[in-house]
Structure 1
Amino acid sequence: MMLPARRTFQLLGVNAAVALLVSIVPELIMLWYVSAGASLLAAFIDLLLVVTEPAPRGERTVPHSLPLGVKRTVQLKLHNTSKRPLTLDIFDHFPQELHVTGFPLRLGLAVSSYAEALYEVTAQARGKLHFPCLQVRVLSPWRLWWHDMKLPVTSEVKVYPNFAAVAQYALLATDNHLSHLGIMKKRRRGEGQDFHQLREYRAGDSLRQIDWKATSRMRKAISREYQDERDQEIIFLLDCGHRMMAQDDDLSHFDHTLNAILLLTYVALRQGDAVGLGSFAGQQRWLPAHKGQYTVQQMLNALYDLQPTTFAPDYAQAATELLVRQKKRALVILLTNLRDEDLDDLLPALHLLRKRHVVLLASMREQAIDQALDARVDNHEEALHKAAVQHYVQARAATLARVQAAGIRCLDVPPATLSVNLINHYLDIKQSGVL
């Protein structure tokens, strides 16, 4: 496509001025003919020159994967394949799921050279994204035309849940630094489920910890030290239903859930446990429990394009399928957004799971509820609204109380605090020895 450049409009302005002059002084009609003819000839020659020259060659370097909501840099490289210096305007056809800053770009290319340009992208949705082409406009030699063309430069990128946060937490996720995240790992010296080592007796050790054979052999008091049981299995049961589309901030409840799954996966793997995942309500995926740090990458690949659907959750079916797939006793963490009308379907499913597994129900509470409770009341309408919210909160609390009365561990927190609360509950369950 050919587009007129600024100099073309300037040339038209000159010809318009000549035409105005000729209308006043008709004897100068030849001047207008010469001006118009020369302008048309120059425009035609300039158009031929830019159309017949070879197109520039473009390259795009994009990260293989992007974390959701984090800025990353994309690099463009344009090579001059013509025999003259080029002036280029560049626009990259990026996916609509990316927020982009830095366009449009203008580059100058010397003969037989290349230039690089950078721009920033922020992924706003997970999944596989496609860059279809790179659009450039080449300014003609006499600067009368822009030759607009699309270069077939294609790229694909996978947008994952925010694994950058997991990498940040990995630096803190040690015995001494978990508390920086609000994660309280309670130590019970010498106690646990699995034998760890023998050591010298310390004040405060119980008599049942003393190894009498080692004590008689060493002729000093020797205690057994235990550690929390390892080689256990954690299974996430993820609701992909319509309520997980709720959104309080930049991320949906579903994306907050995925971030929590990744962080708890990392912590559980460091504890020596195996981690797996199953999803239900429109998106059915199954990842058997595995150990090893490569499991984090497996989890990322299983989750990156998973999206909430318009389906209603069927808890009974999800529980039945999990029992068929997961034979070994495990900690099953059901992640959902609970409503009181779900209880008739949810309670039988939880009872079914509880026969073989330890179950933790993690439900997310909308921040709008807490904000409504904290808001001031200045008139009758606001008072009615706050009373309705209070009634909803009481009904929700009653629903959770019924679940807890059935012996099911419950968690009801805002999405932003889900990660830390999940890890704290996981550590408490491990240290309690119920698995």
Structure 2
Amino acid sequence: MKRSFYQALFFTTRFYVALGSIAIFFVVTYFFPALYIVAQAGIAVLVFLLLLDLFLLFAAGKQPFTAGRTMAGRFSNGDDNDILLKLVNNYRFPVSVKVLEELPMQFQMRDFVLKEALKPGEKKELHYSLRPVERGEYAFGNTNTFVRSPLGLCQRRVTADNSATVKVYPSFFQLRNYELYSFNGKLQELGVHRKRMIGQSMEFDHIKEYVRGDDVRRLNWKATARRGNFMVNNYVEERSQQVYCVIDKGRAMKMPFEGLTLLDYAINATLVFSNIALQKGDKTGLVTLAAQQVDILPSTSKKTQMNVILEKLYAQETQWEESDYEKLSVTIRSVFSQRSLLILFTNFESMTALQRQLPYLRRLSKYHLLLVVFFENTELKKITKEEAHTMEDIYRQVIAQKFSYEKKQMVMELSKYGILSLLTPPQQLTLNVVNKYLELKARSLI
């Protein structure tokens, strides 16, 4: 009992200030002995108030104050995840509370403090959010609350044993947002644009009367002759096409932007894109590449595929070795018998790096529709827009412009061999990949 009492007792700054002031006053009484009685009265009052404060805080029972934490069973990577704290004051007097959360070590937040004041018998809810930037398990510790009475000379620590482990998955918040906007027909508010139909699908749907704006090349002359009105054929997008997201897990994907690595950006985009492809009726699959290891999740249009993809993406980690694209091309050639859309998430920081892998990319594009997605270095772009004041700034800008121009050269180099490419900032990856996919569907390339 005594041990728990001492572990829960903490003196406040107010107490130490008062004690220090009285000590100084005792020193002053050495020169003015008449004030010694006043100093003694001051120390007596302080002791009395301290004992009264201890009585108020510790004589109320074991649970005069409670705190509980409520949060989701899993977190979304790269997004703000809400956490709720419920505080209940069972004291008969108002208290001020300082809450110290034992947050997971991945956040490196050692000064996280919440302060609140509660009236007698009052219940309050505190909200805060955390943004993880790494996938994996996050261990939350206890919730420590330091309660003080209106006297404020000491405080009582109340510890809620609510430790828990939360798994951080790829950004399913983005997935929900896209699903919600898609359901309400508001994807354009997110930046997803419908593409005008340039080509024509060969999958017939039905015949309808001609209205202004219909393609006259679709006129059905036999139906027109029977009905006496212009009739046109209607086609639908081809479905059940195989679509694979190929994620490079080599060292080039370890580069961070705004806390997230390129691999995490690719994983978040893959999750959203796979869901949209399934909604379009296509079969989605996953290929991961690391060093000489190629893992393939076969494509399917089943509703359970999204859960399988989510669990598969959760465990992916970058490697320090360079990925083996020759192994990738050989494996895909031997496993995939049907022409598929391959969306390759990778990164090339120099033309030399692209040239090393170009023969294998050309081999893949010979049998499949290949879209190479690589990243624009936004930090270099910021340097190119800065105003140069010194010779060193000029050198830095010239080097940054050289690397930025080299990225555009890579796009032209890939297009020279008929390989589709997408150069995008990491923050806009999901949006640009979805728009590119809709464009390919509109052009009937898949």
Is TM more than 0.5 here? Answer: yes
d(CA) in 2 for partners of 1:172 and 1:140?
49
Matches within 5 A, 1:66-85: 66-80=75-89
Q: How far does the alpha carbon of each residue in 1:120-150 deviate from its partner, in whole angstroms, 9 at most, with x for none? A: 2140414243321101113379754223353
Match of 2:368 among 357, 373, 381: 357
Q: How far does the alpha carbon of each residue in 1:220-248 deviate from its partner, in whole angstroms, 9 at most, with x for none? A: 65443212211112111112333223345
Match of 2:287 among 269, 278, 281: 278
Amino acid at match of 1:119: H
Match of 1:103 among 90, 108, 113: 113
* Cα displacement (A) at 1:219: 6.2
* Cα displacement (A) at 1:430: 2.7
d(CA) in 1 for partners of 2:19 and 2:184?
75
Residue 19 of structure 1: aligned partner: 26
- Where 2:239 maps in the other structure, the secondary structure is coil
| 1:94 and 2:95 correspond | no
- Where 1:104 maps in the other structure, the secondary structure is strand
* Cα displacement (A) at 1:275: 1.9
Give the TM-score of the pair, scaled to structure 2: 0.76
- Where 2:193 maps in the other structure, the secondary structure is coil
- Where 2:414 maps in the other structure, the secondary structure is helix
* Cα displacement (A) at 1:173: 4.6
Higher deviation after alignment, 395-404 or 32-41: 32-41
Residue 425 of structure 1: aligned partner: 436
Residue 145 of structure 1: aligned partner: 154
Residue 197 of structure 2: aligned partner: 187
Q: Cα 1:314–1:109, aligned 2, differ >3 Å: closer, same or farther?
A: farther
Amino acid at match of 2:10: L
d(CA) in 2 for partners of 1:367 and 1:334?
20
Matches within 5 A, 1:7-406: 8-9=15-16, 12-13=19-20, 15-16=22-23, 19-20=26-27, 23-24=30-31, 50=57, 53-55=61-63, 56-80=65-89, 87-95=96-104, 97=106, 103-108=113-118, 110=120, 113=121, 115-127=123-135, 128-139=137-148, 143-170=152-179, 173=182, 181=191, 183-188=193-198, 191-201=200-210, 205=215, 210=220, 212=222, 218=227, 222-249=231-258, 251-281=260-290, 286-291=296-301, 295-296=305-306, 298-304=308-314, 306-323=316-333, 326-338=336-348, 339-343=350-354, 345-374=356-385, 384-393=395-404, 395-406=406-417
CA-based RMSD of the aligned residues comes to 4.3
Q: How far does the alpha carbon of each residue in 1:244-279 deviate from its partner, in whole angstroms, 9 at most, with x for none? A: 233455654344434433443343223211222222
Gaps spanning 5+ residues in structure 1: where?
none
- Where 1:234 maps in the other structure, the secondary structure is strand
* Cα displacement (A) at 1:30: 8.7
* Cα displacement (A) at 1:54: 1.2
Q: Cα 1:370–1:31, aligned 2, differ >3 Å: closer, same or farther?
A: closer
* Cα displacement (A) at 1:58: 2.4
**Fraction of identical pairs, as percent:** 22
Q: Cα 1:202–1:41, aligned 2, differ >3 Å: closer, same or farther?
A: closer
Higher deviation after alignment, 118-127 or 384-393: 384-393
How many aligned positions are there?
431
Asked if structure 2 preserves the Cα contact closer than 8 Å seen for 1:93 and 1:133, the reply is yes
d(CA) in 2 for partners of 1:48 and 1:319?
76
Give the TM-score of the pair, scaled to structure 1: 0.78
- Where 1:329 maps in the other structure, the secondary structure is coil
Amino acid at match of 1:61: T
Asked if structure 2 preserves the Cα contact closer than 8 Å seen for 1:94 and 1:132, the reply is yes
Asked if structure 1 preserves the Cα contact closer than 8 Å seen for 2:376 and 2:407, the reply is no
Residue 411 of structure 1: aligned partner: 422
Q: How far does the alpha carbon of each residue in 1:382-419 deviate from its partner, in whole angstroms, 9 at most, with x for none? A: 55545444544555455444433333222223334433
Asked if structure 1 preserves the Cα contact closer than 8 Å seen for 2:10 and 2:154, the reply is yes
* Cα displacement (A) at 1:59: 1.1
d(CA) in 1 for partners of 2:389 and 2:15?
64
Amino acid at match of 1:232: Q
Q: Cα 1:393–1:29, aligned 2, differ >3 Å: closer, same or farther?
A: closer
* Cα displacement (A) at 1:332: 0.8
* Cα displacement (A) at 1:319: 3.8
Asked if structure 2 preserves the Cα contact closer than 8 Å seen for 1:126 and 1:158, the reply is no
Q: Cα 1:375–1:71, aligned 2, differ >3 Å: closer, same or farther?
A: closer
Asked if structure 1 preserves the Cα contact closer than 8 Å seen for 2:145 and 2:157, the reply is yes
d(CA) in 2 for partners of 1:102 and 1:407?
53
d(CA) in 2 for partners of 1:141 and 1:431?
69
Q: Cα 1:395–1:4, aligned 2, differ >3 Å: closer, same or farther?
A: closer
